[in-house]
Structure 1
Amino acid sequence: MARSRVAKLMAYVLGELTDALAVEGFSVSGPLDEIGSSEAGARSPSTRLAWFVSPELGILGATAAAVHALINTDRESGGVRFTGTAYVVSEAVDSVLREFPVAALDRRFKPERSAATANILDIAGFGDLETPPKPDRRFWMVTAEYGDGIERFMKDVRGPVRQWFAQRDSLGKLISLAAQPATDPPHPVPSRLRGVVVLCVLDGRADVAGEIMDFYVRREAYQRLDSRERAVAFDQALRERFPEYALARASQHP
């Protein structure tokens, strides 16, 4: 009986989030990473996953804004708890990087590459967008009538999450972020930098892409998921895939 009640509460929370996010321009999406389905019990009876996407909050034809909700049973309260994560995703980037050798990508990509995708340019948990950051930020609903989790989740979507998307809604803004280090560790984010470089080439800005990569391959240190060898391999893969990029790189070091 308790399990059935919690399952209904999960469905209620998911339905309310779906309706509220629709008002903000987000529609339900299939999984945008390798984690899995939003169907009840797809991974565990105590977990629900849901993705919502808004192309309008991204760059036309290049990126989209996405919100991921992870809903879990909360044994302490007898209700559910959930978290939110914001993503910038790009099918255009994924279509290019999926053809690149694994050695040119970051360490998330294994040789078999059975599940990983390269569509994620940037990511931030809702708690990461708080001041100060609260990495463990969660939302709760004890019953459909008791709890403010849905309201607080949507307050974040309308506030810091939308602001985060607005800081990434043009290629110019993404270029300014590409080489910007993460706060910890203080190195550029491999997926963001690679994604922005690809978008630059696709947008006819091979010279800018080359400048970013020239900076990147000359670094002395990299985030743990990356290395100079991987960066150089990525640079070489770009040269082979895009003649205009190869020309831009050659002109930088005649």
Structure 2
Amino acid sequence: MDDSETLVRRATEAFNSGKPDEAQRLCEQGLARLPGDPVLHHLLAAVLFSRNAVAPAHAHIDVSLAKRPANAAARLLAARIARSEGNFDVALAHIDSAIAISPQREFFVEKARTLDQAGLRAQARESWRAILNVIPGHQEAAARLGRLAWEDGDPATAASLLAQAAAPGAPASVWFDLAVARQDLRDHAGAASAYRKAFELRPDHAEAALNLGIAMQEGGDVDAAMRAFAQAYRLRPQLFGSIAMALTSASHGRLWLDEDGLRRALAS
């Protein structure tokens, strides 16, 4: 029969190999024999949380922390669980404890995310700036600072930061935010390029297709704009009103007096 250390090793290997069922079974097998083992409770909490079983994950990490309150990794997991539950004060308390135990970069990033999600904009901005100062190429920090700058009405700063974040591996949301900032600066070609990338990464992103059409139209390429509008319409027919407004109000638009005709053009 495997001892606790062997079970933990096997469960960790299973979890890291994408076998959460096996990892959970091994943890539960170990806890049946050693119900108070903090490492097994920690690992089982991680497995359960990865499977969106938040309440039982919370219960297991609490048991682990009761046995090992100074374990920084367990504090980080507890913070993530609390953040997913919307318990931001609890999450921040766990993160601050983790930082006091072992001030690692990952913990500071988690704190910035939590402050951001909690709507504490000034504190979140300060945290993201501190991360970007220490790690100049930190993609997430640049992306979040860029988004915050855009929300504050500073598209130039937003575009600069988001361009840093729009590196290989950046999600569609970063490219979309960069496109919006460029569009506000009337950089229609740059906006169109970023919208195309967002749409390439997320082919179901109807808003990216719609805004690509608007950017192409503002750049004077109405035929390309119509193709983008058609993609947006196919993905979400409810955008018809926005498409019609864009076509008739822009400087390079087209006047459509026949609504059915426009629908046929978009559908074809």
Per the normalisation by structure 2, the TM-score is 0.33
State which structure, 1 or 2, has the greater radius of gyration over its C-alpha atoms: 2
Give the structure with the larger strand fraction. Answer: 1
Query: Which fold has the larger relative contact order, with Cα–Cα distance below 8 Å and residues 6 or more apart in sequence?
Result: 1
Per the normalisation by structure 1, the TM-score is 0.34
